[in-house]
Every structure is written in C-alpha cells, then in structure tokens.
Chains A and B, each alone.
Chain A
Amino acid sequence: AQSVAQPEDQVNVAEGNPLTVKCTYSVSGNPYLFWYVQYPNRGLQFLLKYITGDNLVKGSYGFEAEFNKSQTSFHLKKPSALVSDSALYFCAVRSRSYNTDKLIFGTGTRLQVFP
C-alpha cells in the first residue's frame, strides 16, 4: 500500500535560516511525489513535483526538494526562510504501478518562521 510519512508535526526556524521539512514515502514501483502548502483558511497550493530525471526539483516561492530513492525521501528545502513561509506543508505520493489517480497525503508539517 502507498503511504507518506511526515515525521515532524512542527518545524521552527528563524527568518533567514535554511529550512527543511521532511517526507518519506512507501510505494510499490516508482513514485510521483508532490509538495503542497496550505495557508490559514485557504485551500492547498501546489509547490513542486518529482516525476523523473534530476533528483533536485525547484518549485514556487524559492522552494526545492530532493528525491532520494535509496532513502525513499523527498525533503522540502529553502535556503533562506521568510516569515511569510509560515504555513502547513503536505507531502503527497502517487505510484506509477497503479492505474489510479489516488493522491495519498502525509499528515502535514506546520512550519513556523520567527522574525
């Protein structure tokens, strides 16, 4: 079965410091991996995805994520955090082995960036 784990409920970081939000996955076959962000009282916004090719994926708002097949991870990173990055971040996965469009989400990680 497909699953996604986000081991940290909350990540705190000072503005200007680098940030990392962790995600690991479990699928049968090769994965498609996604990151979404949810601001308070808003819907989810797509940030970036890994399909194939370069393991480092760049997305919106200066975020990037690194696909690591051996560690089954897809951690979200940003070199310099902004207070406005404070939000709830979701990792999600689909498997190429299944002819289904079921997107499985992690439990979310709340990012708090302090001034």
Chain B
Amino acid sequence: DTAVSQTPKYLVTQMGNDKSIKCEQNLGHDTMYWYKQDSKKFLKIMFSYNNKELIINETVPNRFSPKSPDKAHLNLHINSLELGDSAVYFCASSQDNRPNTEAFFGQGTRLTVV
C-alpha cells in the first residue's frame, strides 16, 4: 500500500535505447511531478501535472516525454538515452498545486546508461 510507487527501481540500459519509468500514487492527489537527482544529489524539477494537465515543463530535452493517462499515474518515457541521463528519477505527488502543500516522493528509479 505504498503511497507513491515507481517501477522499476533500477534500470540499466545502453545508449540510444528508449525506456519508460512508471509512477502511480494512491493518495487521491491532483498534482504529480518528476524530479531528477544527479550524482551530486542536486534535485531539479522536470515536469508537473495537475489533473492530467501539464503545468510545468522545465528546460528538459524533448527526448523526455511525460504522459499522464489519469491523475493517479504519471509515466516518463525517454528516447535515445544518453550517458548524461544517468541519475535517480523521483516521482512525487501533492494534494493540489497550491504552493503550501507538501510533496510525497516515491523511492526513486536509478537509471544507469552505459
């Protein structure tokens, strides 16, 4: 009954491949996010969806494409993977997109591109 769950937890793949990371939340939240944590543990938002609508799209390469089939799911698809894409990707959700609401994070997906 994990609140925010991501799959897979680990992903090792070769350069040039296409891969997807799935995220689901069972909290009934309206807003979901993808964050990237680099090797220095720096966290940066990539995307945010509110009720399946994209509301934040940071300067992320268009090889990254989020998809929200419903407000409980936000998947991340990555085309033509590059070495620099290696990082830990965190999915998160919050009750809504008001700035005073805290986010709940998944356990992360460690992506290694070789």
Contacts and interface: CB of A to CB of B under 8 A. Distances in A.
A2 to B, nearest CB: 11
By DSSP majority rule, is chain B's interface helix, strand, loop, or mixed?
strand
Given A41-B108, A43-B92, A44-B43, 15 more contacts: A32-B100, A43-B4, A43-B106, A46-B102, A46-B104, A49-B100, A101-B31, A101-B55, A101-B94, A101-B98, A101-B99, A103-B45, A105-B43, A107-B40, A107-B42
B108 A43 contact: yes
B99 A34 contact: no
A24 interface: no
Interface in B56-84: 56
Contact of A100 (B41, B56, B94): B56
Interface residues of B, number: 27
A94 B48 CA distance: 14
Interface residues of A, number: 25
| Top 8 A-B pairs, shortest CB-CB distance | A43-B105, A94-B99, A101-B97, A105-B43, A44-B105, A46-B102, A43-B107, A51-B100
Interface of B: 4, 31, 33, 40-45, 48, 50, 55-56, 90, 92, 94, 97-100, 102-108
A96 interface: yes
A10 B92 CA distance: 26
Nearest to A88: B41
Contacts of B97: 101
Nearest to B40: A107
Given A43-B4, A43-B90, A88-B41, A103 B106 contact: no
